[in-house]
Structure 1
Amino acid sequence: MIDKAVTLTSCAQKDVNEFKEYVCNAPTPQDAMNRQQMLNKFTNNVSTLAKQLEDVVRRYATLKKETAAAAAAEQQQGYSNKKKKTNKRGNSGGPRSTTSSSSSRSHHHHSTTATTTSSIRSSSTSRRRGNDDSSRNSDSKIGGDGLWQQQHKNISSVISQNSNAVYEYGERKLRSTAAAAAELLKSSTSPIQREEHHQDRQQQQQMGGGIDLEEGLSRDKLDDIKRIGAEMGELQDIYTTLNSDMARQQDNIDSIHDAMLRTLDTTQRTNIELQQATDKRDTSLKRKVYAFTALAATAGLYMLISSI
């Protein structure tokens, strides 16, 4: 799980590096759209990373629950073995005295003594086996008022309490967001965090288990968790910076859009003015043509009159 989180962090960091290459300038709206898509991808990676880290903490809580259950089972087995040894010592005393008394009474009859001793030893072995079997059966048949059953209930209660304590510890520290997870893991070495962690451990010890979330974990895995938390804090800062840059870039896009509208208005006004000038020029040319036509007609009429 931690390896997956590390891999995911590397992928997210790679996306951030690629995004930072384009964060400074956005010459066209298409570039701004591409950057927005990359930002969305980055946001998804950060969210997934936060979920992965939360799953890591939940997994370790389950691991500690299993460890507590194994310790309880070992304690129960030790109690059962101790009880069996006590039963064996109590049952083996009778046959020894019987053997001793039989030997003292029959020392004049060697063959009878050997036979009796062999018989007694066989009987003693059978009794011990029978007592062992009856001890096992009695252990399995002890009711709710028995000592073993009561200790079993106590152990189960301790396991349940410790499991809930560990789970609540993880739930209280993680809030399903990258910021909360980073805050938890980055501040794990701060004085305030150490004090809170110490209080949590004291509370768990008072409940009977004293389970520590970091107890029994390898140092490299703990370092990986802290490193991922630090990287997530950096990613969160980068995300905030990129978000601000995108807002500023959107303002720049809006400014460019306004400038384009102003340019379009200017172009339209220029086209109108050119059209008006063309119309004026056409009107002047038409007037010149009309004047030339009238002048030519007058000259032709004058020549006609002169020829008459």
Structure 2
Amino acid sequence: MKPTLLILTQVSPHHRDAIAAVFDILYAPDAASRADQLATHGERIRAVLTIGSTGLSAADIDAMPALELVCALGAGFENIAVAHARARGIVVANGAGTNDSCVADHAFALLLATVRAVPQLDAATRAGTWRTALPLRPNVSGKRLGIVGLGTIGRRIARRGEGFDLEIGYHNRTPRGDAGYRYFDNIGALAEWADYLVVATPGGPDTRHLVDARVLAALGPAGFLVNIARGSVVDTEALASALRAGQLGGAGLDVYESEPEPPSILLDCPNVVLTPHVAGWSPEAIAASVAQFLENARRHFAGQQVLTPVA
């Protein structure tokens, strides 16, 4: 008999078919269906597949007495009640490593689009405006790239930065002994040094509004911010104020505090490029994430350790 799996995030029919070969699926990608499935089938659910932003609360966990495995489809797990799950002996795993390249690619797409004002140039061209009537945009290459969070995604961003002849600096809770980049123990000092600041740190209460008005002021009117981490890391109101006052050169955001609603306070700000939290989404990345989930599940139900346990 297949174990019952509750899926709390959007999964394509193709990938649901692959998962259904292993699990009896309960599909609940929205709050209403989630509550209904927990109320109706909570007693028999043995595994949950979610994402970091959706998470899984302690109350949800308590509604599933047979639960033994919780997996995040991506790397993030900030809204999963990990400590509560562990106290129940539930294994928690994530999709670490499956979409790192995709996210790093997107970070650079946002950086290029923002620094070179690609959306504005596209709109101007469609309106019949020729280059002589437009302001010059700076080079991307040959500048200083500051990375907030030098994990696996941060490292991939750094490697792409090297390809653009960028000098790399980073801020982490502790320095990385195997990283040959300049370390800053203070994010404000990193922002003051950098031309570009890319946020790649985990979300959660420890990093909420880490990028605040002080950091944005240090980055300055010639500086550019990119966030592919979590919207909570950047103070949205401070960002809007800095952009409107000309105190920041521009921002490229894949994530924002108002998700899934667009950040209304930023919509009329100059030089902002927005995408709808898709940095980690590509056919290749999603396929790899689903495959890793299935391997973690196979290992767990075979009595083996999962590949990517959440520490």
Tell me the TM-score normalized by structure 2: 0.27
Say which structure is richer in strand.
2
Q: TM-score, normalised by structure 1?
A: 0.27
Q: If each structure's helix is expressed as a fraction of its own residues, which one has the higher value?
A: 1
